[in-house]
Protein backbone atom coordinates (compact mmCIF):
# COMPACT_ATOMS: atom_id res chain seq x y z
CA UNK A 1 0.00 0.00 0.00
CA UNK A 2 1.15 3.52 -0.66
CA UNK A 3 0.11 6.37 1.61
CA UNK A 4 -0.14 9.79 0.01
CA UNK A 5 1.79 12.13 2.31
CA UNK A 6 0.45 15.30 0.69
CA UNK A 7 -3.06 14.34 1.72
CA UNK A 8 -2.00 13.39 5.26
CA UNK A 9 -3.09 9.80 4.81
CA UNK A 10 -6.53 10.64 3.54
CA UNK A 11 -6.50 8.03 0.82
CA UNK A 12 -4.81 4.79 -0.07
CA UNK A 13 -4.52 2.96 -3.37
CA UNK A 14 -3.16 -0.49 -3.97
CA UNK A 15 -1.54 -1.05 -7.34
CA UNK A 16 -2.84 -3.70 -9.70
CA UNK A 17 -1.46 -7.05 -8.59
CA UNK A 18 -0.40 -10.07 -10.64
CA UNK A 19 -2.18 -12.32 -8.12
CA UNK A 20 -5.96 -12.60 -8.14
CA UNK A 21 -7.78 -11.37 -5.03
CA UNK A 22 -11.37 -12.45 -4.47
CA UNK A 23 -13.12 -9.85 -2.32
CA UNK A 24 -16.54 -11.49 -2.58
CA UNK A 25 -15.41 -15.11 -2.34
CA UNK A 26 -12.58 -14.92 0.25
CA UNK A 27 -14.06 -13.92 3.63
CA UNK A 28 -10.64 -13.63 5.30
CA UNK A 29 -9.30 -11.30 2.60
CA UNK A 30 -12.53 -9.26 2.65
CA UNK A 31 -12.35 -8.86 6.45
CA UNK A 32 -8.68 -7.85 6.29
CA UNK A 33 -9.33 -5.17 3.67
CA UNK A 34 -12.43 -3.83 5.47
CA UNK A 35 -10.55 -3.71 8.77
CA UNK A 36 -7.55 -1.98 7.18
CA UNK A 37 -9.74 0.80 5.78
CA UNK A 38 -11.56 1.22 9.07
CA UNK A 39 -8.43 1.23 11.28
CA UNK A 40 -6.49 3.52 8.95
CA UNK A 41 -9.53 5.77 8.55
CA UNK A 42 -8.94 6.13 4.81
CA UNK A 43 -10.80 5.05 1.70
CA UNK A 44 -9.02 2.27 -0.18
CA UNK A 45 -9.11 1.32 -3.86
CA UNK A 46 -7.66 -2.08 -4.76
CA UNK A 47 -7.82 -4.62 -7.56
CA UNK A 48 -9.45 -8.02 -7.57
CA UNK A 49 -11.59 -10.50 -9.45
CA UNK A 50 -15.37 -10.10 -9.47
CA UNK A 51 -17.87 -12.18 -11.41
CA UNK A 52 -20.85 -11.54 -13.65
CA UNK A 53 -24.21 -13.06 -12.61
CA UNK A 54 -23.29 -15.93 -14.95
CA UNK A 55 -19.98 -16.49 -13.12
CA UNK A 56 -17.62 -15.04 -15.76
CA UNK A 57 -14.55 -13.23 -14.30
CA UNK A 58 -14.17 -9.45 -14.34
CA UNK A 59 -10.93 -7.50 -13.73
CA UNK A 60 -12.20 -5.07 -11.11
CA UNK A 61 -11.28 -2.15 -8.85
CA UNK A 62 -13.03 -2.18 -5.46
CA UNK A 63 -13.66 0.97 -3.41
CA UNK A 64 -13.92 0.82 0.39
CA UNK A 65 -15.01 3.77 2.53
CA UNK A 66 -13.25 4.98 5.67
CA UNK A 67 -15.60 2.84 7.77
CA UNK A 68 -14.61 -0.28 5.84
CA UNK A 69 -17.70 -0.75 3.69
CA UNK A 70 -17.73 -1.57 -0.01
CA UNK A 71 -19.04 1.55 -1.74
CA UNK A 72 -18.38 0.75 -5.38
CA UNK A 73 -16.76 -1.42 -7.99
CA UNK A 74 -15.43 -0.65 -11.44
CA UNK A 75 -15.08 -3.49 -13.96
CA UNK A 76 -12.39 -2.97 -16.61
CA UNK A 77 -13.98 -2.20 -19.96
CA UNK A 78 -11.04 -2.53 -22.36
CA UNK A 79 -9.37 -5.91 -22.03
CA UNK A 80 -5.86 -6.90 -23.12
CA UNK A 81 -5.71 -9.61 -25.81
CA UNK A 82 -4.18 -12.93 -24.69
CA UNK A 83 -3.90 -11.75 -21.08
CA UNK A 84 -7.53 -11.12 -20.26
CA UNK A 85 -9.26 -12.55 -23.29
CA UNK A 86 -8.31 -14.78 -26.18
CA UNK A 87 -9.26 -13.27 -29.55
CA UNK A 88 -11.38 -15.31 -31.94
CA UNK A 89 -9.35 -17.85 -33.96
CA UNK A 90 -6.79 -18.18 -31.13
CA UNK A 91 -8.82 -20.33 -28.74
CA UNK A 92 -6.11 -23.03 -29.01
CA UNK A 93 -3.64 -20.86 -27.01
CA UNK A 94 -2.86 -22.30 -23.54
CA UNK A 95 -3.88 -20.29 -20.50
CA UNK A 96 -1.36 -19.15 -17.88
CA UNK A 97 -3.87 -18.97 -15.01
CA UNK A 98 -7.40 -20.01 -14.17
CA UNK A 99 -8.97 -16.75 -15.35
CA UNK A 100 -6.51 -15.71 -18.07
CA UNK A 101 -8.30 -15.55 -21.35
CA UNK A 102 -11.77 -15.80 -19.82
CA UNK A 103 -12.31 -12.25 -18.54
CA UNK A 104 -15.26 -10.34 -19.90
CA UNK A 105 -15.39 -6.55 -20.19
CA UNK A 106 -17.29 -4.31 -17.81
CA UNK A 107 -20.23 -2.38 -19.18
CA UNK A 108 -20.36 0.93 -17.35
CA UNK A 109 -18.39 3.97 -16.24
CA UNK A 110 -18.18 4.29 -12.46
CA UNK A 111 -17.19 7.21 -10.25
CA UNK A 112 -16.04 6.78 -6.65
CA UNK A 113 -16.57 9.70 -4.26
CA UNK A 114 -13.96 10.19 -1.51
CA UNK A 115 -13.49 13.32 0.59
CA UNK A 116 -15.74 15.30 -1.73
CA UNK A 117 -13.66 14.34 -4.78
CA UNK A 118 -14.79 12.24 -7.73
CA UNK A 119 -12.38 9.47 -8.68
CA UNK A 120 -12.58 7.90 -12.13
CA UNK A 121 -10.89 4.51 -11.83
CA UNK A 122 -9.16 2.83 -14.74
CA UNK A 123 -7.14 -0.37 -14.89
CA UNK A 124 -3.87 -1.23 -16.63
CA UNK A 125 -3.86 -0.43 -20.34
CA UNK A 126 -6.90 1.82 -20.03
CA UNK A 127 -4.49 4.43 -18.59
CA UNK A 128 -2.42 5.10 -21.76
CA UNK A 129 -5.57 5.84 -23.74
CA UNK A 130 -5.61 9.64 -23.83
CA UNK A 131 -9.01 9.55 -25.49
CA UNK A 132 -10.50 7.30 -22.81
CA UNK A 133 -9.05 9.12 -19.78
CA UNK A 134 -9.68 12.60 -21.18
CA UNK A 135 -13.35 11.78 -21.75
CA UNK A 136 -13.82 10.08 -18.36
CA UNK A 137 -15.35 13.11 -16.56
CA UNK A 138 -18.03 13.61 -19.22
CA UNK A 139 -18.78 9.87 -19.34
CA UNK A 140 -18.97 9.67 -15.56
CA UNK A 141 -21.42 12.58 -15.39
CA UNK A 142 -23.64 10.93 -18.01
CA UNK A 143 -23.71 7.65 -16.07
CA UNK A 144 -24.50 9.28 -12.69
Q: Which residues are catalytic?
A: 16, 76, 124
Pairwise CA distance, residues 79 & 86, whole Å: 10
Pairwise CA distance, residues 111 & 72, whole Å: 8
Do you know the residue count of the chain? 144
Pairwise CA distance, residues 61 & 73, whole Å: 6
21, burial (CB in 10 Å: exposed 0-12, middle 13-18, buried 19+): middle
Amino acid sequence: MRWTRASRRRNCSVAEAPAPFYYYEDAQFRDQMNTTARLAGVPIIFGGVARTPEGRPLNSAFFLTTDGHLAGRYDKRFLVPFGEFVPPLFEWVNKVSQEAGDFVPGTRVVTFIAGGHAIGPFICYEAPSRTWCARWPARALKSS
